[in-house]
Amino acid sequence: MKIAVIGIGYVGFSNAVLFAKSNEVVLFDIDKSKIEKVNNATMPFELPSEENDLLDKETIKRLYATDDKVKAYTNTDVVIISVSTDSLGEGQPLNTTNVESVISDAKQFAPNAVIVIRSTIPIGFTKRMNEKYNCDNIIFVPEFLRENKALYDTIHPTRVVVGDTGAVGQRITELFKKAYENCDVPFAQTSSSEAEAVKLFSNTYLAMRVAFFNELDTYALENDMDSKAIITGLGYDPRIGDGYNNPSLGYGGYCLPKDSQQLAVIYSQIPSVLIKNIIESNKLRKEYMAQKIMDSCSGAIGFYRLTAKANSDSFRASAVVDVIKIIKSQGREVLIYEPLIKQDDNLGVFYDDLQAFANASGIIVANRITPEIEEFKQKIFSRDCFNRD
């Protein structure tokens, strides 16, 4: 089978690796640097060292990337869309322009191909596209990977939800089942709108959970209690569980903020207070954290890493960056240690030497504590209770 993967990001590249084991895969992107990386058999994003073993070097060498639409789409059986769908801001729907332009190209260059959307889209989008093109071969298969475990999660998914209950959905289910023949993955076939809902409600639930444990942590801080002891006690209840409960400066990253915002837009017509207030809770948490940090130190405030999570190379919608912006707006001096960025004058003074950064900082704010900063523990401000995401 020939598969064209459109968009060489975390989602596109990981899906290409998955399907290239038993299919011919061509990747397409408008970003030439990513095309070059793929054709040089290198990663288009930073791979955490523990994921290196997941990369089958022979599979990577077989991948081919291009920005030539004819080469990408000709004789393609399946087009996988994994382009970005950015937020247009609070109260606005997701920007689906990229996905719409890829569907238009696919219809022109590969009219018989099944189009599988893996980008996150609003509820009802796939149905609208099938109506627009008078077809039934555009389907949504939500991707649930975590950015700092993109390859692992793609190879070992928690579930596969295929958003089509008819023959096209069955064909795509078979394609995924073949890719996962060695793992025990639950499959579900739903309508396209239900699959779109699964994606948005999943991420909004996760955002709500982070917001809940962050508000618990705010309570503990205000009452001089140990958050770790309280959260551990809660986690013994299997209905609550002990994952996704580690306090932070706020939730962030590419997906949780934009997906919860998208659901809040949809809920503007639905009687509800919870969904909309998850976003408010996260804003309040970042403001509260910024104030606590400023109150803890009168000197320069150092930030260790800007990434939302340990082992991540992504700063998209990072809560750390939002907290820095609040602190900077109060005229406070901010120092930053972030090996993946050399300079950003709007955020603060960047250091590439950890010791020099630690010496110059009055406190060191760490969203997540890693072994390399343990030696500075007297200076560290962190709400990380469990040394994990």
Ligand X SMILES: NC(=O)c1ccc[n+]([C@@H]2O[C@H](COP(=O)([O-])OP(=O)(O)OC[C@H]3O[C@@H](n4cnc5c(N)ncnc54)[C@H](O)[C@@H]3O)[C@@H](O)[C@H]2O)c1
Catalytically active residues, by annotation: 255
Burial of 126 by CB count in 10 Å (0-12 exposed, 13-18 middle, 19+ buried)?
buried
Q: Give yes or no for residue 145 binding ligand X (CB under 6 A).
A: yes
Q: How far is the CB of 244 from ligand X (least distance, A)?
A: 15
> Cβ of 60: how many Cβ atoms within 10 Å?
17
Residue from 3, 16, 25, 102 in contact with ligand X (CB under 6 A): 102
DSSP string, 243-281: SS----S---SSSHHHHHHHHHHHGGGS--SHHHHHHHH
Q: How far is the CB of 211 from ligand X (least distance, A)?
A: 19
Residue from 3, 17, 26, 34 in contact with ligand X (CB under 6 A): 34
Q: Give yes or no for residue 98 binding ligand X (CB under 6 A).
A: yes
Residue from 3, 4, 5, 9 in contact with ligand X (CB under 6 A): 9
Q: Give yes or no for residue 143 binding ligand X (CB under 6 A).
A: yes
- Backbone angles phi and psi of 158, in degrees to 5: -80, -30
Q: How far is the CB of 279 from ligand X (least distance, A)?
A: 17
Q: Give yes or no for residue 76 binding ligand X (CB under 6 A).
A: no
Q: Give yes or no for residue 384 binding ligand X (CB under 6 A).
A: no
Structure tokens at 219: 């309570």
Q: Give yes or no for residue 313 binding ligand X (CB under 6 A).
A: no
Q: What is the per-residue binding string for ligand X in 223-262, x denoting contact by CB under 6 A?
A: -------------------------------xx-------
Q: Give yes or no for residue 82 binding ligand X (CB under 6 A).
A: yes
Among 27-35, 216-224, 339-347, 351-359, the segment contacting ligand X (CB under 6 A): 27-35
In angstroms, the CA 131 to CA 115 distance is 14
Q: Give yes or no for residue 12 binding ligand X (CB under 6 A).
A: yes
Among 18-26, 113-121, 243-251, 289-297, the segment contacting ligand X (CB under 6 A): 113-121
Among 118-126, 214-222, 333-341, 370-378, the segment contacting ligand X (CB under 6 A): 118-126
User: Given 3-state DSSP classes, what are the helix, strand and coil percentages for the chain, each rounded to the nearest 5?
Assistant: 45, 15, 40
367: nearest Cα among 348, 384, 386: 384
At position 143, the amino acid (one-letter code) is E
Torsion over CA of 84, 127, 175 and 40, rounded to 10 degrees?
A: -20
Residues 6+ apart with CB under 8 A from 353: none
Q: How far is the CB of 93 from ligand X (least distance, A)?
A: 13
Q: Give yes or no for residue 29 binding ligand X (CB under 6 A).
A: yes
Residue from 25, 51, 147, 312 in contact with ligand X (CB under 6 A): 147
In angstroms, the CA 153 to CA 336 distance is 30
In angstroms, the CA 217 to CA 237 distance is 18
Sign for the CA dihedral angle at 27, 32, 37, 43 comes to negative
The residue ranges that bind ligand X (CB under 6 A) are 6-12, 28-31, 34, 82-85, 98, 101-102, 118-120, 143, 145-147, 254-255
